[in-house]
Structure 1
Amino acid sequence: MKKKLTAISIGLTLALTLSAGSAFADSKLNNAIKPVIGVSYKMGGTTTKGFDCSGFTSYVFKKIGLTLPRTSTSQYKVGTAVAKSKLKAGDLVFFNTSGRGVSHVGIYIGGGKFAHSSTSRGVTITALNSSYFAKRYVGAKRVMSSSKYKAVAVNYN
């Protein structure tokens, strides 16, 4: 029953986060993320059988035609730094959860939220300003060109 309630609450969170009024809703990026919400965490995981954080980001970006390095540390080394106030859906957001530098990554989806693979909840949506992640935020990188962003992260319908 607890697992079913978790799935329902994740679905409600996703529905509220990815509402039809959002430019991100029904985008290719959203369509790559939405089906894997709720997939369990698996260290080293890169498939729908289980993801670690960078396995999740690599999987989603591969679905939209971009290749990312495998680990959060190496993903942090690519792209262009973006100020938190300038984040756009599709930017990678990075955190220091281990006390030893970049150790967690997610995908900003807009509205102050990001999708990521959490060790405790699997693939989920979390607020950037949540008490846990706000104090561990390291920075963000934009890895998509403007034309790629328009093609995959914005819905013009």
Structure 2
Amino acid sequence: MLVVCRIALLVLCALSLGGCAFSVGGREPVPLAPGQETVLETAKALVGTPYRPAGESPDQGFDCSGFVKWVYARHGIRLPRRTQDQLMAGRPVPREELKAGDLIFFAPSGKLSSLHVGIFDGHGGFIHSPSPGGRVRQEYLLAPYWRSSYYAANRVLR
């Protein structure tokens, strides 16, 4: 029981501190446009799909850019295959103006050669295919790891 209480306290502290240093989107939920909702539904339906280097489909698994490319292709939006090229697609968006469906990019090692991409969910989280051994999942953008490695965002939906 003591361990559970300590973990809960740690999580609450981390969340309260995280909110001071980084904000995402507006303070009030904004209704999703039809294109945003369907992209998110497609992405959420793939949660649990295994990560696979260079993977581009639910059958073979996904890497991060393959996941994003596949989701958007289902909705008639062609994106480049590589994360670095996806960074150049669409238009840049300040993190305070993020909307559901925006692409968010991370540079965990601080290098552009190791960019990571996911799809913002409109509620402070994002959906992505993380790394070898992982599965497509939804995570909280304000978690310390993601907050500290956030790099940029762009909008490909109108």
| Residues 32, 64 of structure 1: 8 Å contact kept | no
CA displacement at 1:33 relative to structure 2: 1.2
Trace 1:1-157 onto structure 2 (pairs within 5 A).
23-24=31-32, 27-48=37-58, 49-101=60-112, 103-119=115-131, 120-145=133-158
- The whole-number CA distance in structure 1 between the counterparts of 2:40 and 2:93 is 21
Matched residue of 1:107: which SS?
Answer: strand
Provide structure 1 residue ranges, at least 5 long, that are not aligned to the other structure. Answer: 1-20, 146-157
Paired AA for residue 140 in structure 2: A
| Residues 105, 151 of structure 2: 8 Å contact kept | yes
- Please provide the CA RMSD for this pair: 2.0
| Residues 40, 101 of structure 2: 8 Å contact kept | no
- The whole-number CA distance in structure 2 between the counterparts of 1:32 and 1:83 is 25
Would the alpha carbon gap of residues 95 and 71 (structure 1) be closer, same or farther in structure 2, given more than 3 Å must change?
A: same
**1:63-105 deviation digits (Å, cap 9, x = unpaired):** 1110000011000011111111100001000010243215100
CA displacement at 1:30 relative to structure 2: 2.5
Provide structure 2 residue ranges, at least 5 long, that are not aligned to the other structure. Answer: 1-28
What TM-score do you get using the length of structure 2 for normalisation? 0.73
Q: Single out whichever of 93-102 and 31-40 deviates more from structure 2.
A: 93-102
Q: Which has the larger radius of gyration?
A: 2
Identity of aligned residues (%): 36
CA displacement at 1:31 relative to structure 2: 2.4
What TM-score do you get using the length of structure 1 for normalisation? 0.73
| Residues 44, 127 of structure 2: 8 Å contact kept | no
Of Structure 1 and Structure 2, the greater strand share is in 1
Aligned length: 125
Q: Single out whichever of 136-145 and 93-102 deviates more from structure 2.
A: 93-102
| Residues 29, 64 of structure 1: 8 Å contact kept | yes
Paired AA for residue 120 in structure 2: Y
